[in-house]
Chains A and B, each alone.
Chain A
Amino acid sequence: MSTIALAPSGVGPFIGSLFTAKQVSSILGNYYSFTTSAGIAVVTSLTALTEASPALIIENTAPVGGVNITLDFVRIQATAIAAAATDWQYGWKLDNIRNKWASAGSTLTPQNANVGIPNASAGTVHAGALVVATAQQSSTNFAKLIASEYLAPVGSNPVQIIGDLVDFRFGGNEAHLPTVISNVASNGAHTFASGHVVSLPPVTLGPGTTATLFLWGTAVGSAASYTFTGGWYEF
């Protein structure tokens, strides 16, 4: 039998050298997260991607030459539903227009994940029933719709119920993870909460750019509300 002697007090691998980027980023103060303290209502009755009415805007306000923001995840959970909707869709759009957010909704503060480091993010986050002024809605050359899919497909209501959770992962997963749905009908209607992990391409926000989340559905007749939680790398 061979034995291996470990040197507990000697020179060995520095544990930090074995960490992943996500673990090291918090040590170095390169990771920011945001969250809500309650459900926030989004704009009611949206039946199409509506540039004036996104649910979430993340903006890199750094001046030219400043830090990049590389998104890690954004997670929403339904706390009130649009019960009449017969499908549920999302779109993520990038743009290079500063001050995309005009008014309304809630401002969420990006918090440095290193407890001892002050919050000094270049990012801003607004969530809820947001208003985007016409001039800021979509630039000519840089507005990019990078993903638009059904969260619940064409069917009959309810396609959304309280507790439904959607976890958008940017470049982190190698695949969609299985959706867990109980008691879903063949048309997508369901009565038990579901959890979706949506694997998305990686996204980097250079200075002066934005990532915007749109939510809508067919036959939406009331305002849904959500909690919003997320995080990004910033360096």
Chain B
Amino acid sequence: MTTLTIPTSQPGPFIGDLFTAKQIAPILGDYYAFTTTAATLVVTSLQTLTEASPALIIENTALAGGPNITLDFVRLQTTAADAASTTLVYAWKTDTIRGKWASAGSALTPQNVNAGTPSASVGTVHAGALVVATAQQSSPNAKTVSQEFLLPTGTAPVQVLGDLYDFRFGGNEASLPTVISNIASNGAHTFATGRVISLGPVTLSPGSTLTLFLFSANAANQPSYTFTGGWYEF
């Protein structure tokens, strides 16, 4: 039998050296989080990706040479459903146009998760029924990094109160199983679902944006969501 003697009175590994980036980030003041305080309505009746009407815009407002923002997660939870929709589709798009957000919706404040560090993020967050001016809608550098069905072609309702969509940027090796009870084969369901959507990593350099679009076939009403998320900034 091999025995190990742990040098309790000797210098050992510094626990911080073993932390993951996510654990070290708050100690160094390099992580920001944002959240809503109430449900936020998005634009009603969107049936296609509509550049003028995203649901969420995150922008790195830093000057050239400033810090990058590397996304960790964005989570939405349905607080009002569009009962008429027969699909639900999302798209994440990056761009290099400053001032993407023009008006409407809610501004969410990025908060430094080190309680003793002032919040001084270069990021801005707007969520809700946003308006993007024509000139800011899509530059030659615009990139759709992911577009999929959250729920495929089916029959209503494809969305109910409590449905949760957790977009993870570069963190998971795969989408985690969706837990749905009482879902029909065509995607209609009556019980709340929870989805984890594994995405590629995304870094926003100074002056760039990340925009979330939501749309549905046969959309006829205005859903609302809570928005919560976080990113690394350094």
- A: residues with CB less than 8 A from B are 8-9, 14-17, 19-21, 24-25, 27-28, 30, 49, 60, 68, 70, 91, 94-96, 141-142, 144-150, 152-155, 171-172, 174-182, 184-188, 199-211, 233, 235
Contact = CB atoms under 8 A, between A and B. Distances in A.
Given A150-B79, A175-B168, 11 more contacts: A27-B6, A27-B12, A70-B27, A94-B115, A96-B116, A171-B25, A171-B26, A182-B181, A186-B190, A200-B33, A203-B26
B23 A209 contact: no
Contacts of A141: 118
A184 B115 contact: no
Contact of A188 (B23, B33, B119, B161): B161
B111 interface: yes
Interface in B155-194: 160-162, 164, 166, 168, 171-172, 176-179, 181, 190-192, 194
B89 to A, nearest CB: 21
Contacts of A205: 115-116
Interface string B1-45: 010101000001111101110110111000101011100000000
Contacts, number: 179
Interface residues of B, number: 59
Main secondary structure, interface of B, reads mixed
Contacts of B196: 175-176, 178
Interface string B56-85: 000000000000000011010111100000
B115 A201 contact: no
A183 to B, nearest CB: 9
B52 interface: no
Contact of A150 (B4, B118, B162): B162
B123 interface: no
Nearest to B27: A204
B117 interface: yes
B221 interface: no
A204 to B, nearest CB: 4
Given A178-B194, A186-B191, A187-B161, A147 B4 contact: no
Contact of B179 (A172, A174, A179): A179
B228 interface: yes
Contacts of A186: 160-161, 190-192
28 contacts: A9-B2, A16-B6, A24-B18, A68-B27, A94-B111, A142-B118, A146-B111, A148-B35, A150-B79, A150-B162, A153-B77, A154-B80, A155-B161, A171-B25, A174-B171, A175-B172, A175-B176, A178-B196, A180-B179, A186-B160, A188-B162, A188-B192, A203-B115, A204-B27, A204-B113, A205-B115, A209-B115, A210-B115
